[in-house]
Copies of this chain bind each other. A is one copy, B any other.
Amino acid sequence: MTKLDVVLDRIDADLDASVARWFDLLRVPSISTDPAYATDCVRAADWLVSQLTDMGFEASRRDTPGHPMVIARNHAAGDDAPHVLFYGHYDVQPVDPVELWETPPFEPEIRVVNGVRQVFARGAADDKGQLLTFLEACRAFMSEHGQLPLRITMLFEGEEESGSPSLDAFLKANAGELRADFALVCDTNMYDAATPAIDTMLRGMVYEEVVVTAARRDLHSGLYGGAAQNPIRVLSKILAGLHDDDGRITLPGFYDGVSELAPDIAASWDALNFDADAFLGAVGLSQPAGESGYPALQQIWSRPSCDVNGIIGGYTGAGAKTVIASKASAKVSFRLVGEQDPKAIQAAFRAYVKSRLPVDCSVEFTGYGNDRAFSLARDMPEIVKAQQALTDEWPKQAVLMGMGGSIPIVGEFKRVLDMDTLLIGFGLDDDSIHSPNEKYNLTSFHKGIRSWARVMEALAK
């Protein structure tokens, strides 16, 4: 048996214990965006410190102005081994609408759905299940061989789901400790349940909250209706104007820095035979609703987009209330690609809203994120090694893909620590991350752990 085979056997033998640890972490409601859960975020950080210390890492909680970070490192590997920084986040999304969950979001449960064993809980995939695949692979290596094949520093954040307000300063203050040859992040999806993937393109993001105010108090629509400005109507009109009839975003300069996809990448994506009908059909949709003239895969991977993520104003309870609200608000996000400049787009959005604001209305903005898009050279040596290691574990060859989501840390690592990042994850499109009934397949977890063992071994060569 090779050194790796021993580790893979250990992973298989310890699976039940690994799942039990996963459940422990899932029971902590570490919702970072809601201050009510601040102590739970600390609990989740402390749990990681405790686990990593038990495994033989030197680990500590590092407090920040927001939720704490966790840093850990091993001492066993030789100084000539590559040095990687593994990053994950222990915080999770809010759970609303909570009434749509079939089981309580912080009471993880294994259920068999269509013959597949799945673990249901908030964070089951994003990112607790994913980050633990790496930790458990390290645990198996350490327990069998007493050391890891790589020099590894780990960084766990508790504010990924709320815009990472403390991250930039933390990376700068701890750059010496965190800088490595490159970074590994486990927060992405496979191409499909049989096909592992490395993400080489990520979209960036601008996220804005906009509050429109008209009258200084709520008004009775009988007394004022027809004469008073209605902020919901104003906001609806502003939001409706963000797209033209072809699904293009109307902000001046929005497409500056957006290029058409390079022919070689376009060809490799075509070879994926992406099934847009199945992708959309799984959530009850039938047609790509984005920019005319682009296939669905480009709409979600390589084209910018704009979504209203939330809106509220006036009376939203049961029944009828004849009110003209004083305020209405919306959360609006833009997904960016190529060289789009987040600051310029934020400014263009704010200018657009102000320019459409009628008399007697005022507006306030809050920014929740400004991140550039990211891409890697597809022939980077680490990518080639990791691709082969993943292919060895799964039924199909690992593919290089794009991803529509934003992982701001990747840009931060490049900018602050001058490191590239390999994005390898075992999530699936139907994991319902950020939605009710989030899940992670037991296969993702188990073969994810095995995959990391293989990838670590491959990267050490």
Contacts and interface: CB of A to CB of B under 8 A. Distances in A.
A317 B96 contact: yes
Contacts of A308: 230, 232-233, 236, 313-314
Contacts of A432: 217
Contact of A280 (B227, B232, B325): B227
A280 B226 CA distance: 12
Nearest to A437: B217
Interface residues of A, number: 102
Interface in A387-409: 403-406
Contact of A284 (B93, B97, B215, B436): B215
Interface in A422-441: 429, 432-437
Contact of A319 (B162, B232, B299, B323): B162
Contacts of A320: 33, 162-163, 207, 209, 309, 331, 333, 368-369
A246 interface: no
A239 B310 CA distance: 16
A286 interface: yes
A229 B435 CA distance: 16
Interface in A186-230: 189, 203, 205, 207, 209, 214-230
B360 A226 contact: no
A291 to B, nearest CB: 7
A271 interface: no
A243 interface: yes
B283 A216 contact: yes
A305 interface: yes
A423 to B, nearest CB: 13
A316 interface: yes
Given A222-B203, A230-B307, A317-B33, A215 B283 contact: yes
9 contacts: A97-B218, A217-B436, A220-B405, A226-B305, A230-B289, A237-B240, A286-B360, A309-B322, A321-B331
Interface of A: 33-35, 93-94, 96-97, 100, 161-163, 189, 203, 205, 207, 209, 214-230, 232-233, 235-237, 239-243, 276, 279-280, 283-291, 296, 299-300, 303-305, 307-325, 328-331, 333, 335, 358-360, 368-369, 403-406, 429, 432-437
